[in-house]
Amino acid sequence: MRSTHVIVAGLLALGLIPQTYAASEGYEIVILNHRFEPAELTVPAGQKVKLVVDNRDASPEEFESKELRREKVIPGHSKATIWVGPLTSGEYRFFGEFHEETAQGKLIVK
Amino acid sequence: MLGAAVIVFREILEAALIIAIVMGASRGVAGRGNWVLGGVGVGIVGSVVVAALAGTILEAMDGRGQELFNAGILLAAVVMLAWHNVWMSAHGRALASQMKKVGHDVSAGMKPLSALALVTLFAVLREGSETVLFLYGLTASGTGGLALVGGGMLGLAAGAAIGWFLYRGLLSIPIGRFFSVTGWLVLFLAAGLAANAAGFLNQAGLLPALSMQVWDTSQILSQQSWFGTLLHILIGYHDRPLGIEVVSYVVTLTVIYILMRWVDPSSTRSGGAHRQTSGEKGARNYS
């Protein structure tokens, strides 16, 4: 029992498994009419953060961020989990590559 | 319509450039056109299948299916490119000198064409499935059919044209140096794809980032600019690379290079056999 805990803690520390146990439900971002809601989201610095992107449009979107170094295609009417960080304080832009004119957002890390 | 064209072009460009390099690298090999076309064909069919399964892939493996799928395809392409380059290091010189002797391309046969056909297939599959999803999205959001078809065709044509230019450019290289150039192109391409795979594995939580940003050259040459995009595809340029990407890039480059030197007959004593047959001075250019 105890050794299991040590192993899990060790793997978490190494970042080898996503912190499904450690983190909460995560932060939800909804895509609706090719816009992010919320378009600005504040998350804590220095830890892994779970983003759940819920695409409620019928069309797919590619969640992309050069700053966060993430890109993920999300089909219509589906949710994707995206882990980011640990990040240093600052602002990190993200956008929807398939509808870049409207789908713009920002992650504020504090 | 133009918006659709630009996005399709962006997606197609990588596949088009990779096909151009593959066509260059397989120069002089019998039946390569059919192999590469086969790769494109299967890749297009596969793209539609992958796009249709996008939701399933997204949710597979604990929500990491898409990352693992991309990384797997990229790494498979890296292995195929490496194998091709190692094979060419052992046999390319003989092929080049034969082509030089007869003054035109020869049909050498039995080359690792299946590997290059797979590289083509993987490139089309990865970029194609995103294109299919994007175009499907346009229909879903009610964009007219004409704009869709027009934009898609325009983007496709532009991507194909760039690939064709690269291929023609490659063909203008003298045959004595030709395979040396395509070898370097394939080497850098493989290293860049390996770095991309590492990025996806990091996103999947399977590899540590090591550093979130080794350097930031986005002000000097943005990866989103056309030249930056081109360099990203061809040599794996990143304006803000993760530590793990830089490490993967260097390791891949080094390992393939060492393997190439290792099998290269000219780097050992026994290797002179092909060259001694003719006294042509061009032989000196090969190294």
Could you tell me if the ipTM is greater than 0.90?
Answer: no
Search chain A and give the residue with CA nearest B141. A59
Q: Please tell me if residue A108 touches chain B, with a CB cutoff of 8 Å.
A: no
Model confidence band, residue B93 (pLDDT cutoffs 50, 70, 90): confident
For residue B237, which phi and psi values (nearest 5 degrees)? -60, 135
Work out the number of other CB atoms within 10 angstroms of the CB of residue B172.
Answer: 7
The mean per-residue pLDDT over the stretch B251-265 comes to 94
Closest CA to A55 of B64, B142, B62, B140: B140
Search chain B and give the residue with CA nearest A84. B203
For residue range B122-173, what is the model confidence (pLDDT) as tens digits? 999 999 999 999 888 877 766 667 778 888 899 999 999 999 999 999 999 9
Smallest CA–CA distance, residue B12 to chain A, in Å, is 14
Contact B136 A74 (CB under 8 A): no
pLDDT value, residue B32: 87
Instruction: Kindly list the distances between the CA atom of residue A96 and the CA atoms of A63, A72, A102, in Å, as whole numbers in the listed order.
Output: 5, 10, 8
Model confidence band, residue B280 (pLDDT cutoffs 50, 70, 90): very low
Q: Cα separation of B66 and B54, whole Å?
A: 8
> Does B80 score more than 80 pLDDT?
yes
The mean per-residue pLDDT over the stretch B243-268 comes to 92
Contact list in A for residue B136 (CB cut-off 8 A) is 59-60
Nearest beta carbon to residue B140 from set A20, A59, A69: A59
Search chain A and give the residue with CA nearest B55. A75
Model confidence band, residue B282 (pLDDT cutoffs 50, 70, 90): very low
**Substitution target from B58, B64, B129, B132 for chain A, most A beta carbons within 10 A:** B58
Chain mean pLDDT for chain B: 87
pLDDT value, residue A83: 93
CATH topology of domain A25-109: Immunoglobulin-like (2.60.40)
pLDDT in tens, chain A (110 residues): 455 565 555 555 555 554 444 445 789 999 999 999 999 999 999 999 999 999 999 999 999 998 899 999 999 999 999 999 889 999 999 999 989 999 999 999 99
Contact list in B for residue A76 (CB cut-off 8 A) is 137, 140
CB A49 within 8 A of CB A23: yes
Greater pLDDT, B97 or B246:
B246
Smallest CA–CA distance, residue A1 to chain B, in Å, is 24
For residue B12, which phi and psi values (nearest 5 degrees)? -75, -30
Q: Cα separation of A72 and A9, whole Å?
A: 28
Work out the number of other CB atoms within 10 angstroms of the CB of residue A15.
Answer: 17
Q: Which residues are CB-contacts of A42 (< 8 A; sequence separation ≥ 6)?
A: A107, A108, A109, A110
Smallest CA–CA distance, residue B225 to chain A, in Å, is 13
pLDDT value, residue B259: 96
Q: C-alpha angle with apex A62: B120 to A50, nearest 5 degrees?
A: 120
**CA terminus-to-terminus distance, chain A:** 36
pLDDT value, residue B273: 44
pLDDT value, residue B209: 92
Search chain A and give the residue with CA nearest B142. A59
The mean per-residue pLDDT over the stretch B226-243 comes to 95
pLDDT value, residue B106: 65
* Per-domain residue ranges of chain B: 2-266
CB pairs under 8 A between A and B: 78
* Percent of chain B whose pLDDT exceeds 90: 64
Nearest beta carbon to residue A78 from set B58, B134, B202: B58
The mean per-residue pLDDT over the stretch B93-113 comes to 73
